[in-house]
Amino acid sequence: MSNSNPIENFQNSVKKPQSSIFWNILSIILAIVIFLILSYLYFWQINLLNSLGRYFNFSKETLIDNNIFSNHFGTDFLIGMTIYLKTSVDFGILIGTIMSRYPGFKNRVAIENGTALGNALGTMTVLTIWFFFKEVNWLLAIMVFLASLVLFRLAADGLEHIHQVNSENNVENNVENLENSSESDLKNNSENVYDNPENKINLKVKLTTINKNRTKNKVPEFLLIWTNEIEKWLNVPMQFINPILDKIMPNLKVGNIKNLSFWGILSSSFVIPFILGLDDFAGYVPLFSVVNVFGFGIGVFFGHCLLNILLFISPTRTIAVVKNPFISFFGSLIFIFLALFGFWEVIKILTH
C-alpha cells in the first residue's frame, strides 16, 4: 500500500512535460482570458442592475458608476485587489491542495475555471443583494451588520493563521533536531521504531521531504505577544458572533477531496470558492459607502487571477507569502477597523 502525500504528488507532477514553460504560459494566458470575460460579465451585470433601478425609480445614489475611465477607478481597483489578496489564504490553500492532487494541464483548466467562476459568482450575488437592500434602510443595516460580523471572523482567522505558522515552525525545529541526531542517540532509544535501520532511513527521508517543503515564515516573539493580546480582546465578541455566523455560513474543509474526474474537479473548484466569495465579499459591504463597487469588484477578480498565476508558477512560495504572519497580523487589524466602521455605518443608516 503506497502512501499518498499531496506535496510529494505535486513535486512529481512538476517533473512531467505538462508543467513545462509552454504549459505554464498557456495557463497564465487562460487565467487572464477568464479574468477579462468575468470582468465583462460584471460590467453588464451592473448595467442590468442600473436598468432595473431606473425602472423601479431607485434613487440616483443607488445606481452604480461603471465607468472604467472615472478618476477613482484605479484607486478602487487597487483596494479591491489588495484586500482580496489579504483574504486569499483559504483560496491559496484550496487551490494548492487541488493542484497537488490533480496535476496536469487538463486539470489546471478545471481548477482555473472552477475557482474563478465560483469566486466571481459569489461576488456578483452579494452585489445584487446589496444593490436592492440599499433602497430599504433597515435591510441595508442588517446586511452591513452581518458584514461587520464577517469582518470580525476574518480578523480572528488571520490571527489563527499566525499560530498555525508558528506551530509549523515548531514542527520544523523538531524535524531538524531529529535529523541532526547521531545514530548512537537513535539506537539508544530502544522503545521506538529507530531500532530498525530500515524504518530509521525511511523516516529520515520523509522528514527531509517535509522539511524542504515547509514555509519559512518565522514568527517573532513580539508578534505572538501582540497576537495573543488582540485575541484576548477579540474572543469576547467572537463568543456571540460565532454562533450567529455558524447558522448562516458553512464551515468549509478542503481535506476530503476524493478522486475526481474533470467535471468533478471543476465542480469542487467552484463550490468552495463560491461560498468563500460570498463570505469575503459580504465582509466588504461596509466599504461600499466609500469605494465604488465596480472598480473594487474588478480588483477582486484580478486579485484572484494573480493568485492563480502565482500558484501555478510557484505554489510553495505563493502560499508562504499569503500566510506571512505580518500580513495576517496587519490584515486582521484592518478587518477589525472595518468591522467597527461597519457598526458606525449601521447607526448612521438607522438614525438617518
Set of cell numbers at residue 263: 467535471
- Cα gap 197→225, rounded to integer Å: 42
- Cα gap 89→155, rounded to integer Å: 12
Question: How does pLDDT run across 151-164, given as a tens digit for each residue?
Answer: 888 888 888 888 88
- Sorting pLDDT into bands at 50, 70 and 90, what band is 255? very low
Q: What is the pLDDT of residue 192?
A: 53
Query: Taking all residues of the chain, what is their mean pLDDT, rounded to a whole number?
Result: 75
Q: What is the pLDDT of residue 114?
A: 82
Percent above pLDDT 70 for the chain: 64
Q: What is the pLDDT of residue 172?
A: 54
Question: How does pLDDT run across 26-40, given as a tens digit for each residue?
Answer: 888 888 999 999 999
**For residues 116-141, average pLDDT:** 84
> Would the pTM count as exceeding 0.85?
no
Q: What is the pLDDT of residue 256?
A: 46
**For residues 189-218, average pLDDT:** 51
Set of cell numbers at residue 131: 444593490
**For residues 225-237, average pLDDT:** 92
Question: How does pLDDT run across 171-193, given as a tens digit for each residue?
Answer: 555 555 555 554 445 445 544 54
